[in-house]
């Protein structure tokens, strides 16, 4: 198997989100987490989140980091999240489902649409396709990400990857309903 070109010279940094950085932007931030500077415990949560990771990207770039490896981010009863009980949802303690869009101008969370999930195969491809189409149409990145989230949400409501890809009129109707 060939190695991807960008990987050969990448400098990876592994992040354990719960203990990396806590942001004030996470709605779950008001929960009673362990004090940040206290010694770690096997079952305690410190409250680090994905927003905290985004806020530290410039710091990581200054260190020469070019690629990130995140510990699991799915719903789990353990702080390291290797005891995942729901592979379909990003742990709300880390920021929840949807898309995180980060640029030099802003960091925005685009929430997921609530849909009945049938199969998730192809959801990432659906998001990327929807995002690219919307950017190609000249939409601003936040609106393009929202379009990508709607595309991915619709794609998980049907079985099979090819059959589940939504049509344009379905995406536009979901966005018009605003059913988050």
Active-site amino acid positions: 122-125
Please name the residues in contact with 111: beta carbons below 8 A apart, sequence gap of 6 or more.
96, 97, 98, 149, 180
The two three-digit tokens of residue 34, written as one number: 């362990």
d(CA 94, CA 4): 29
**Backbone phi, then psi, for 70, in 5-degree steps?**
-100, 140
Element (H, E) at 67: strand 67-70
Assign 116 to helix, strand or coil: coil
């Amino acid at each position: 198997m060939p190695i991807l070109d960008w990987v050969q010279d990448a400098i990876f940094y592994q992040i354990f989100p719960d203990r990396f950085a806590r942001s004030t932007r996470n709605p779950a931030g008001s929960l009673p987490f362990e004090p940040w500077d206290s010694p770690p415990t096997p079952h305690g949560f410190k409250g680090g989140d994905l927003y905290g990771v985004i806020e530290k990207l410039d710091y990581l770039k200054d260190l020469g980091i070019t690629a990130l490896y995140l510990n699991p981010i799915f719903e789990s009863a353990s702080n390291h999240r290797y005891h995942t009980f729901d592979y379909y949802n990003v742990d709300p303690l880390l920021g929840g489902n949807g898309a995180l869009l980060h640029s030099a101008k802003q960091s925005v969370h685009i929430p997921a649409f609530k849909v009945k999930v049938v199969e998730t195969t192809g959801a990432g491809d659906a998001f990327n396709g929807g995002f690219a189409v919307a950017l190609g149409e000249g939409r601003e990145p936040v609106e393009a990400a929202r379009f990508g989230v709607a595309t991915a949400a619709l794609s998980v409501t049907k079985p099979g990857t090819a059959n589940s890809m939504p049509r344009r009129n379905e995406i536009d109707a979901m966005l018009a309903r605003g059913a988050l």
